[in-house]
Chain A
Amino acid sequence: MTLVVQSFAKRYGGLVAVDGVSLTLAPAEVTAIIGPNGAGKTTLINLMSGVILPDGGSMQLFGADVAGATPHVLAEHGLTRTYQSPQLFAEMSVLETVMVGAHLSGRAGFLSAMLRLGAIRREEDELEARARAALSRVGLPDDLLDRNTTDLAYGHQRRVEIARALATGPKVILLDEPAAGLNPKETHEIADLISDLAREGYAVGLVEHDMDMVMGISQHVVVMNFGRKIADGTVDEIQSDPAVIEAYLGTSEGEAAHACVA
């Protein structure tokens, strides 16, 4: 297994945002994490990516124990993510933003960068090529590359975030609501992109509210409610799980209807 999470827990004061959740991500699979708002999905992603430290539990990435590791160490080990509200760099062009994603494949340090010693130019070319490849992989139009990321349309911003994550050369990608705020056509394209990524071998963790999308592209679904994992299985298993139906009926009928019909 690529990524194994064992009984992760996170408390905020009296609130248990994540309560003993275990799950595994496998290569070439989309594992969806679903649940009503406030169920603890983002907190779980934050724990898995090292943004916050767990109060309990452990995590193995390719067999190495990485609970408590910082985000940059996890990224070096091949785990990267996107954010529920895009975390783009203000005043930076699209191309450069994605080149930051390619950072790990360069080696220039402060001194050699300032002196622009020997191999730097070639390295810059390589980073740029990597970034361009990632950008065309997510289908971002070429004429946007010199624009500031924060000036882009929302749908494009989401793609830039995914491209930036891909440029790190990851094996595990965690996506926190990548289709939120997108129109149906864009949602469809993102869904296609995600299932293509899984087919190429990435282990994908997907938090998403759009049930058509989740049920359409996931191999594996984890359902959370009130910080706990209430179900875990294939799409078919989840759709017939009474606990899941109840969780959704208890919160929002619209979503529940979606979950049942899809």
Chain B
Amino acid sequence: MMARSFLARRYRSDLMGVALLAVAVVIGGSTIVKSYHLTMLIYSGIYAIAALGMFVLFGIAGQISIGQAAFFGVGAYASALAATHAGIPPVLAVAGSTAMAAAFGWLVSRPLLRLTTNYLAMATLAFGVICFILFAQLRSLTGGIDPGIVATPGFSVAGFDLSSARAMFFVVGAALCGTILLVLNLVHSRVGRALRALKGSEVATAGLGIDVVRYKVAAFTLAAGLAGLAGALFAYFQSAFNASVFSVGLSIELLLMVIVGSVSSPWGALFGALFVTILPTFLEDFEQYKLLIYGVILTVVMIYMPDGFGSTVVQLGRRLTRRTATP
């Protein structure tokens, strides 16, 4: 019997990765002292969850969206409002907002996904801006830009208060581990292969009996749901926020996280989220040069590393090890 092939091997090493990530979360959560560091990692984790959704949509299925901030916003507002006004328990609120964002995504995906490449990019961009305008203008619901959402109650599970930064670190860490496990399972499945195939050739994929539209819609829905989940966690962690968070800037950043990380591996989304979240804080000292430096770095990555910074590093590593292995 032929041993289960390289595919099983790849899946196993991805599972190892999840285990390592879980260990890293536990160690990090119990040893990191500075709350600033915890905070940055929490934000990275939250964005990584949304970026994983973007990875499914863009990295795997090849469908671009520059409007993910809309779903992030729906998740954030839904959970903040559910917690403040309806007093719904946080876990339920998070689950409900995720479902709501996913449902919204499903609703808009059918018309949007009739478009491809640049048209899809522009249409999702326009969609994102429209949602941003609505977030900012529907003040009775969202508080607009000022005052926004003032105080979302802290996160808790079954009465245990988990609102401290350290507790939220574990909450976000657990959500992230869970999300990447789900995405990895997807990648290594019939469904994931179908999505990768339609990125390569829609015509050929359809010709193999795969309902391309249905799969694209599902990928879009999943991406919207994960953006909503991230938004909900964001609302609980940040407590006070306003509509300016959900501008096009966030949509572009989520896309960048995938591009900077890797378009071919979900691990890239984690790396990209960390990179895109942390980099600006390093540039803080450069004051007005910040955005310029940021732009230069992004541009260089996009020009020279179209598969992502993460992928390029991995490829380089592989090439080096191969060279040493076969002299």
Contact = CB atoms under 8 A, between A and B. Distances in A.
Interface of A: 49-51, 70-72, 75-76, 80-81, 83, 87-93, 95-97, 99-101, 103-104, 106, 108-110, 113-116, 120, 123-125, 127-128, 132, 145-146, 164-165, 168
B5 A114 contact: no
Contact of A89 (B182, B183, B197, B207): B197
Given A100-B208, A103-B210, A110 B197 contact: no
When A and B form their complex, which 5 residue pairs have the shortest distance between CB atoms, in order from nearest? Answer: A89-B200, A75-B209, A113-B189, A87-B204, A71-B206
Q: Of residues B183, B203, B222, which shows the largest number of chain A Cβ atoms within 10 Å of its Cβ?
A: B203
Given A100-B205, A114-B186, 13 more contacts: A70-B206, A75-B210, A81-B207, A90-B200, A91-B196, A99-B193, A100-B193, A100-B197, A100-B210, A120-B189, A124-B7, A128-B4, A128-B7
Contacts of A145: 5-6
29 contacts: A51-B207, A70-B206, A72-B209, A72-B212, A75-B207, A75-B210, A81-B207, A83-B203, A87-B201, A89-B200, A89-B201, A89-B205, A91-B196, A100-B197, A100-B208, A103-B208, A103-B209, A104-B209, A106-B190, A108-B190, A113-B189, A113-B191, A116-B189, A120-B189, A123-B190, A124-B189, A128-B4, A165-B208, A168-B209
A128 B189 CA distance: 11
Contacts of B185: 113-116
B296 interface: no
B182 A114 contact: yes
Contacts of A88: 200-201, 204
Q: Could you say which of B4, B185, B193, B222 has the most chain A C-beta atoms within 10 Å of its C-beta? A: B193
Contacts of B193: 92, 96, 99-100, 103
Contacts of A51: 203, 206-207
Nearest to A97: B197
A83 B186 CA distance: 28
From B5, B6, B183, B264, name the one whose CB has the most chain A CB atoms within 10 angstroms.
B5
B59 to A, nearest CB: 10
B290 interface: no
B80 interface: no
Interface of B: 2, 4-7, 182-183, 185-186, 188-194, 196-197, 199-201, 203-212, 218, 222, 264
B21 to A, nearest CB: 17
B209 A89 contact: no
Contacts of A114: 182-183, 185-186, 189
Contacts of B212: 72
Given A72-B212, A92-B196, A103-B209, A146 B190 contact: no
Contacts of A110: 186, 191, 218, 222
B7 A89 contact: no
A87 B191 contact: no
Nearest to A86: B204
Nearest to A142: B2
Residue with the highest number of chain A CB atoms closer than 10 Å, among B192, B194, B197: B197
A89 B194 contact: no
A84 B5 CA distance: 31
Contacts of B201: 87-89
B5 A146 contact: yes
B5 A49 contact: no
Contacts of B188: 124
B200 A80 contact: no
Nearest to A125: B4
**A87, A95, A125 — most chain B CB neighbours (10 Å):** A87
A91 B190 contact: no
Contacts of A127: 190
Nearest to A145: B5
A89 B204 contact: yes
Of listed B4, B201, B204, B218, residue having the most chain A CB within 10 A? B204
A87 B210 CA distance: 15
B83 to A, nearest CB: 27
A49 to B, nearest CB: 6
B113 to A, nearest CB: 15
Contact of B208 (A70, A92, A120, A168): A168
Q: Which of A81, A110, A165 has the most CB atoms of chain B within a 10 A radius of its CB? A: A110
A164 B190 contact: no
Contacts of A146: 5-6
B5 A128 contact: yes
A75 B190 contact: no
Contacts of A83: 203-204
Contacts of A50: 206
A89 B189 contact: no
B7 to A, nearest CB: 7
A207 B193 CA distance: 29
A121 to B, nearest CB: 9
A68 B144 CA distance: 49
B186 A113 contact: yes
A64 B200 CA distance: 31
A51 B211 CA distance: 13
Nearest to B11: A124
